[in-house]
Structure 1
Amino acid sequence: MKRVCAGFIVAVCAVSASAADYSESPNHQIGGLGFMTLEGDDVDYTVGALVGSIASKHRVSNRFSLVPELRLGIGLDDDKVIVGNTSVDVELKYFAALSVKAQLDVTEHLYLFANPTYAYSSVKGSSGDISLSDSDSAFAIGAGAGYEFYRGVSAELSYEKFSDASVTSLGLKFPM
């Protein structure tokens, strides 16, 4: 799965070369690359991931758009937690999410969004010779903001709350 995620991220980056010929149209494809942190609520851990995304922007009105988005990520930053008297290494193996952003253009460059999300993640915990993996899927609600600093190229910051975890993301979006 890590190879699939890495291949997807490389493909999204390669397609970003088309950004030079970008012209604003009401509906267009958007690629993205970013970093996210996943924080557990039940067990206090924080892991990070490199995330690639692909989205399709559909303008509903002059200032409002719907943006379905697929995100895939691979773990980069692990954490160490203490369970009882045992030190456990926590690693995010991969992350996948599907969301639909309701995006409001506040100014020509600034936009805000809210999004329901369905996500799937696989986390591995290991201590010495013992290793356990857990996969989970859940719904979340999120919100964020973006700033378009060049035609079609923007930076986004978002927060999503799941029932037992939260995700904070910072990414770069570009036309495809």
Structure 2
Amino acid sequence: MENLTPTAHTILGYVASHPRSGYEIRQAASRNPFWGISDGQLYPQLRLLAGAGLIESDGMDGPRGKTIWRITPSGRQALRDWLGEETPPVVIRDENLVKLLFAAPLDRGLARALVEERRAQFASFRDLVAAVAPGASWTDAERSAAATVPALVRDYGLEFADDAVAWCDRVLDALDGDA
């Protein structure tokens, strides 16, 4: 199906690994530091995917109306099609860096505060990524099928955060040295 959002495709990916309730999808997404899904996105997207025949419910409402969703053959094909599409280029819109660019010549203390804020955010992001246990909720077969890729994606996040923190430290040293 065309015109699915990246969030809808992400939901298909979560349901493709194994049937899940909306709550379980939200929990899995909350552990993913690279693509979040809000409740405001999740439930409308589940209805859209079900309406398009890409996922289906088990037809049973469990405790508190819990519906378990599973991917359909059409949904699996839509996921495969999306995975095979060229990914749009990374676009970085970073308000902190723009502020830093303008603050540096105007107010050294403000520039330093922006870098400290940035450093704290990347340190927090690193902690979030470090807490991820790739495939912890998966079956042995799911872990085997994924090979080492989930751990390598986690490593990417850790290295990215470490590099960003190191860059912040260099900028702070430069700001202190230029004073």
When normalised by structure 2's length, the TM-score is 0.22
Q: Which has the higher helix share?
A: 2
Q: Rg bigger for which structure?
A: 2
Higher relative contact order (CA 8 A, sep 6+): 1
Q: Which has the higher strand share?
A: 1
When normalised by structure 1's length, the TM-score is 0.22
